Chain A
Amino acid sequence: MAVAVSQPTAPPKQEGRRSSRSRSERWIAWIWIGPAVLFAAIFLVYPVISTVIASFQNSDSTKFVGFKNFQEVFTNPGLLEVLRNNLLWLVLATAGTVFLGLIIAVLVDRVRIESFAKSTIFIPMALSMTAAAVIWRFVYAYAAPGQPQIGILNAIWTTFGGQPQGFTADPKNDILNNILLMVAYVWMWTGFCMVILSAALKSIPTEILEAARVDGASELSIFFRITMPMISPTIAVVATTMLINILKIFDIVYVMTGGDFGTNVVAVEFYQEFFNFTNFGVGSALAVLLLVAIIPIMIFNIRRFRVQEAQR
């Protein structure tokens, strides 16, 4: 460990050979990671490889067809819309959860009712997607004009003189439908971001903040010059988690609209190809696309990981 500190830029493998402890550590380390590696190999890596193979095969996996399934994904208008929706989700829902999570974590850190407020915002995380879907169907519920609206959103909308809207179910407003589904997701997952970011905020030593205040730093400059740099690794962790989660978004869309009204996403389309159309080729190709989309996120992670290593 001491060697690593004195030569921060050298790759870890070379340092390892220098001390006797590191030599035996190689084998000990395998015992520590062994169970995890076994689980990952049997239940994740092997199934993924069979799926990749199936993506180059025909619909019942009996014959290789080259890139035909991928060609289908990128030319079929329905499938292109699915890709667009996933992109919308990635940008808007990730930004929404991380941004709101950070703002709320910072706000609640300064009020006396902190634990009450955090609990309230975290509660949706405890719900199953089915329950959340029931809740938001309730919020978005539609009744014909003149009838009493049992959905709170339409009740508010009609009180201000609007016509009742078929929220999430209006084929003309497919972008809005997607955003309304994202609202349900952001509602569920902001609490997750908030809890982790709040823990990071609390790990900043009080002395540093106090010293800055004593030196006359304003709260804003404390936030941008001390808090943000210190929690930025955690923000990266949270944002990456959200990106990965949202990339494979499934339950909310599946339960709330079933992918209708221009709201279909890759994971739901994948499910339908597999279980409804039994087209294993296209279904697997969609799954492989999700896997390929992770690569930029992973490259970002590797870089951050290297920087963190070098600093140790």
Chain B
Amino acid sequence: MSTTQTTSGADSSAELALKPSGAAVAAGQRRTLAGQLVHALSSSTLTVIVVLIALLWSVPTIGLFVSSFRPHAAINSTGWWTSFFPPWQFTIENYQNVIQSQGLGQAFINSLIIAIPGTILPVLVGAFAAYAFAWMKFPLRDWIFLIIVALLIVPVQTILIPVQNLFADVYTSTGFGITGSYIAVWLVHTALGLPFAIYLLRSFFGALPSDLFESASIDGASHLRVFFSILLPLSVPSLASLVIFQFMWVWNDLLVALIFLGGNPDRAPLTVNIANLVNGSTSAPNYEVLTSAAFLSMALPLVIFFALQRYFVRGILAGSVKG
């Protein structure tokens, strides 16, 4: 670093005033041999450090994954890392067991029925509200925003009993039973996801340069047009991350499904089934069933994360302001 500093300090800043992009390229090429060596060395050291961190982070999950393919006797008598050495004892029986006889196939579909509306609803409702909080002016705006964000703290447990009483009141007055249906779970997940959605999107939307909105409003664009043709395309990365997180929270939720589906086994999602497997094994934990069931429940969130990862691209905002 110090070599770059001495060679390209003063003269390149003079160039910078004339031709900024050319100067940057020139300085990059003008590195001395020693500078290049230091750079290469530090970047390979960095790579080693990152690989080590990644490895450390994966060890617990690898343990689960490997164990899910080991027969019952092996799991409980030897560490999972010993299975890398002969005699190899692997089986897919655990998976056949959980999908067929433990009913996790149906549970997988139920999880989808719960999680898809449970993701779209809060993100959509939250994005509308976040836009208004960020770029509209109205009385009590800051106070309403504050109250909604303050609701982030509300623990799920706090709302369970009153909301269930509310659903019961609706049933007695209209005969429409919400508890036990998917609607109950969707409504509660939307409410629980909203404060975070609004909080996150408000700070993403608010961080966008105000020039964008000023020029749009000078051009006479309506709020709906600004929202759909400027804000949403610009916010794809933040929306993508919010969608990923919300989906995973709903997919992995246990308590709301447990309470509001009323223990109906036909509608139980994966988490409820897995929890029943944990509690069902009275003596020693049934690791071969648990590990394979847990891995099944991870599969879809992982696929979605990898599919949406490309949206995290560098400089999408900087590019649009420039262009």
Where the two chains meet, the residues of A that have a C-beta atom closer than 8 Å to any C-beta of B are: 1-2, 4-5, 12-13, 15-16, 21-22, 25-26, 28-30, 32-33, 35-37, 39-40, 42-48, 50-51, 104, 107-108, 110-113, 115-131, 134-139, 148-152, 155, 187, 192, 195-196, 198-199, 202-203, 205-207, 210-211, 213-216, 218-219, 233-234, 237, 241, 244, 247-248, 250-251, 255, 267, 270-271, 274, 280, 287, 290-291, 293-294, 298, 301-302, 305, 308, 312
Contact = CB atoms under 8 A, between A and B. Distances in A.
A134 B54 CA distance: 20
B53 A113 contact: no
Given A129-B254, A135-B61, A148 B79 contact: yes
Contacts of B278: 130, 134, 255
B55 to A, nearest CB: 8
Contact of A12 (B57, B137, B295): B137
A33 B144 contact: yes
A216 B4 contact: yes
A10 B58 CA distance: 52
Contacts of B252: 127-129
Interface string B277-306: 010000001010011001101100110011
B60 A187 contact: yes
Interface of B: 1, 4-6, 8-9, 12-13, 16, 20, 23-24, 27, 43, 46-47, 49-51, 53-54, 57-61, 63-64, 67, 75-81, 125-126, 128-129, 131-133, 136-139, 141-142, 144-159, 161-163, 166, 187-188, 190-192, 194-196, 198-200, 203, 206-207, 210, 213-214, 217, 223, 237-238, 241, 245, 248, 251-252, 254, 270-271, 274-275, 278, 285, 287, 290-291, 294-295, 297-298, 301-302, 305-306, 309, 312-318
Nearest to A218: B1
A210 B24 contact: yes
A197 to B, nearest CB: 11
Contacts of A219: 1
Nearest to B240: A199
Among A48, A214, A219, A287, residue most surrounded by chain B Cβ atoms (within 10 Å): A214
Contact of A274 (B64, B161, B217): B161
Nearest to A266: B155
B138 A218 contact: no
Contacts, number: 330
B154 to A, nearest CB: 5
B132 A32 contact: yes
A137 B60 CA distance: 10
A85 B44 CA distance: 41
Contact of B125 (A4, A39, A44, A195): A39
B275 A214 contact: no
Contact of A149 (B1, B79, B314, B317): B79
A11 to B, nearest CB: 9
A64 B272 CA distance: 37
A280 B188 CA distance: 21
Contact of B141 (A5, A29, A267): A29
B20 A42 contact: no
A138 B217 contact: no
A141 B155 CA distance: 30
Given A134-B294, A152-B81, A294 B285 contact: no
A126 B309 CA distance: 14
Contacts of A293: 153
Given A1-B214, A29-B137, 6 more contacts: A29-B136, A33-B132, A37-B144, A40-B194, A43-B187, A250-B157
A1 B159 contact: no
B256 to A, nearest CB: 11
Contacts of A131: 64, 274, 294-295, 297-298
Among B136, B145, B238, B271, residue most surrounded by chain A Cβ atoms (within 10 Å): B136
A139 B237 contact: no
A54 B190 CA distance: 25
B50 to A, nearest CB: 5
Nearest to B151: A44
A117 B63 contact: no
B153 A107 contact: no
A294 B153 contact: yes
A61 to B, nearest CB: 10
Contacts of A151: 79
Contact of A32 (B54, B136, B199, B271): B136
B151 A150 contact: no
A128 B50 contact: no
Contact of A44 (B57, B128, B154, B251): B154
Given A211-B24, A308-B206, A287 B148 contact: no
Given A135-B60, A203-B318, A16 B128 contact: no
B309 A119 contact: yes
B241 A195 contact: yes
Nearest to A126: B301
A42 B166 contact: yes
B149 to A, nearest CB: 7
3 nearest A-B residue pairs (beta carbon): A43-B191, A131-B294, A47-B162
B146 to A, nearest CB: 6
Contact of A128 (B5, B214, B294): B294
Contact of A108 (B50, B139, B217): B50
Contacts of B80: 138, 150, 152
Contacts of A51: 158-159, 162
B153 A124 contact: no
Contacts of B161: 47, 274, 280
A301 B11 CA distance: 44
